[in-house]
Structure 1
Amino acid sequence: MVQNDPLDDRLITLLRHDGRRSISDLAIELGVSRATVRARIDRLERSGVIIGYTVILRADTVAAPVRGLMLIEVEGHAADRVVRALSAFPEVVEIHTTNGRWDLIVELASPTLADLDGILRRVRLIPGITASETNLLLNTPRSTRARL
């Protein structure tokens, strides 16, 4: 695993806030050359520290106002197979492995409660899932995902 130094950490923070910033802007803010920024980004990508770039949408612009957390129990060694199957659902926002009673925590998003119900039914049919529990997310008073 690559050990990040303070410059890497500052670069990653800037990219988290705006992954589309130009190399020139990043270099000016960090006080280093464009070549240094490019080399660091390349190294962070090659080492797997940076695995991709994405678009972060404001919650009120997404046509998926119904959100829930599905806690899933998986039999035996089926976790990888279940994660692959869940990854094929466009309604799956995030998948987390965990310890304790539940093996996976899955965040789901859908336009309506009826749609969420359909998603839950389809997820429960995935081979290897032995139990689940779902909680609706009513409000998000604080999130550290995006600082807009």
Structure 2
Amino acid sequence: MDHLDNKLISALRHNARASLSDLAILLGVSRTTVRGRIERLRDSGDIVGFTVVLKGDAHRDAVRGLMMIGIEGRGTERITRQLNGLPEVRTIHSTNGRWDLIVELGTDTLEHLDAVLGRIRKFDGVSISETNLLLATRKAA
């Protein structure tokens, strides 16, 4: 991928429904170039699809947080399975460094989030945790 491909992808992330003409004007190239670049990026697998984000999906969690979890022993796989069973868990990341897992949580209220945090802290093998509330999203993937 070159600089133009990166600019095209950035424009598509901003508005995947932009017309070829609008993209061409924005990027300073022809419509044919834009169409060819998009086809090449799809054929190579760099672009795997386009999606729709509904208002309800974007705002479904009034309260969001990141929970960093330290695990004692070899319980990471078991705890990951337990986390996968919680409907409030949005993503689970394994990491290196101080924390073993970073979990994104989403709930409708602070009280609900507090209850979920309490449940997770009681999982056998969770030795330490720290949670930060997400206040605003400046850029989403």
Normalising by the smaller structure, the TM-score range is: 0.5 to 0.7
Q: Distance in 2 between matches of 1:54 and 1:5?
A: 26
Instruction: Extract unaligned runs of 5+ from structure 1.
Output: none
Identify which of 7, 22, 25 aligns with 2:22.
25
Larger radius of gyration: 2
Q: Distance in 1 between matches of 2:16 and 2:130?
A: 33
* CA deviation profile, 1:98-147 (whole Å, cap 9, x unmatched): 211212212212111332244345656889x644524241634xx4316x
Identify which of 53, 56, 65 aligns with 1:55.
53
C-alpha change, 1:37 and 1:116, in structure 2 (3 Å) is: same
C-alpha change, 1:78 and 1:36, in structure 2 (3 Å) is: farther
Secondary structure of residue in 2 paired with 1:8: helix
Contact 2:121–2:129 under 8 Å retained in 1: no
C-alpha change, 1:131 and 1:110, in structure 2 (3 Å) is: same
Q: Distance in 2 between matches of 1:134 and 1:124?
A: 10
Secondary structure of residue in 1 paired with 2:65: strand
Amino acid at match of 1:133: S
TM (norm. structure 2) is 0.65
CA RMSD of aligned residues (A): 3.8
Aligned match of 1:135: 131
Q: CA deviation at 1:63?
A: 4.5
Residues 57-96 of structure 1: pairs in structure 2 closer than 5 A? 62-73=59-70, 76=74, 82=80, 86=83, 90-96=87-93
TM (norm. structure 1) is 0.63
Percent identity of paired positions between Structure 1 and Structure 2: 49
Instruction: Extract unaligned runs of 5+ from structure 2.
Output: none
Give aligned pairs, total: 137
